[in-house]
Structure 1
Amino acid sequence: MTTWITICDTCKGEDWDAATHSRPHGEDMADLVESHAKGRGVKTRRVSCLMGCSHGCNVAIQAEGKLAYTLGRFTPDADSAAAIVDYAELHAESANGQVPFRQWPQGVKGHFVTRHPPLPKTEG
C-alpha cells in the first residue's frame, strides 16, 4: 500500500507578501518535500489548496485503508521537509497508519491538525 504525501502548493505563511515573494510558500515546500522523497518509500503529489489556510504550509499523509493525517504550520525549509518524509515512511511501514508518538520525528511534533479514519471498504 502506497503512502502519499499531498502537498498544498498554494499555502502562504503570515509573512507572505506579493512584493517580497515570487510564489506561494507551498510551492517552496512542495519542491523540498519532493526532493527529500526521491528514492524513498512514499509518493508525493501537489494540490492547489487543502483549505487549511490558517495552518499553512499544509500536507496530508494518506494511504488506502489507513488513518490519514493533515499536518500544518510548517515553514518551507529542509528540516521540515525531511521530518514530513520521515514521518510518511513510518506511516507506510505501519499496519494501520498509526505511528507511536515515541517514533515521531521531532520536526512533526506540534504540527498535527486533523486525523481521519480510513473509509469503509463497503457501503452501508
Structure 2
Amino acid sequence: MTTWITICDTCKREDFEARAPAMTDGEALAHAVEALPRPEGVALRRVSCLMGCSHGCNVAIQSAGKLCYTLGRFEPGAEAARAILDYAALHAGSATGQVPYRQWPEGVKGHFVTRHPPLPE
C-alpha cells in the first residue's frame, strides 16, 4: 500500500512578505522533497492549500487504512525534506501507520500538528 506525502505548495512562513522570495515556502519545500530519491512505497503530490496557514510549511502523510498525520512548521530545505521522506518510509512500513517515537527522524520531532484515524471501511 502506498504512503502519500501531500505537500502544500501555497504555504508561506510568517516572514514571507519581508523575505519576498521568488516562490512560496511550500513550493521550495516541494522542490526539496522532489529532488531526493523516494523510498519504496512512498509517493508525492502537491496541493494548493492544506488550510494550516499558521503552521506553514505543511505536509500530510497518508495511506488507506492507516493513521494519517499533518506536519507543519518546516523550514523549506534539504534537511526537512530528508526527514519527511524518512518518516514517510517508516509510515509505509507500519501496518497501522503508527511509528514509535524512538524511530522518528529528528527532523520531524516537534512538527506534528494533527493525527487522523483511518476512515471506516
TM range (shorter): over 0.9
Alignment-derived partner of residue 11 in structure 2: 11
SS, match of residue 81 in structure 1: helix
1:99, distance to aligned residue in structure 2 (A): 0.1
Matched with 2:101 is 101
Identity %: 69
Q: Which runs of 4+ in 1 moved over 4 A?
A: none
Q: Distance in 2 between matches of 1:111 and 1:66?
A: 19
Which amino acid in the other structure matches residue 39 of structure 2? R
Q: Partners of 1:35 and 1:15 in 2: how far apart?
A: 25
Q: 1:18, 1:110 → 2: CA distance?
A: 25
CA RMSD of aligned residues (A): 1.2
Shift of 1:34: 1.4
Calculate the TM-score normalised by the size of structure 2: 0.95
Q: Pairwise mapping of residues 1-124 of structure 1 onto structure 2 (< 5 A)? A: 1-17=1-17, 20-36=20-36, 38-41=37-40, 42-121=42-121
Q: Would you say how many aligned residue pairs link Structure 1 and Structure 2?
A: 120
CA distance in 2 between counterparts of 1:55 and 1:31 reads 19
Letter in 1 for 2:83: A
Larger radius of gyration: 1
Secondary structure of the residue that 1:85 maps to in structure 2?
helix
CA 1:40–1:19 in structure 2 vs 1: closer, same or farther (change >3 Å)?
Answer: closer
Q: Which ranges in structure 1 are unaligned for 5 or more consecutive residues?
A: none
Cα distance change on mapping 1:25 and 1:118 into 2, 3 Å: same
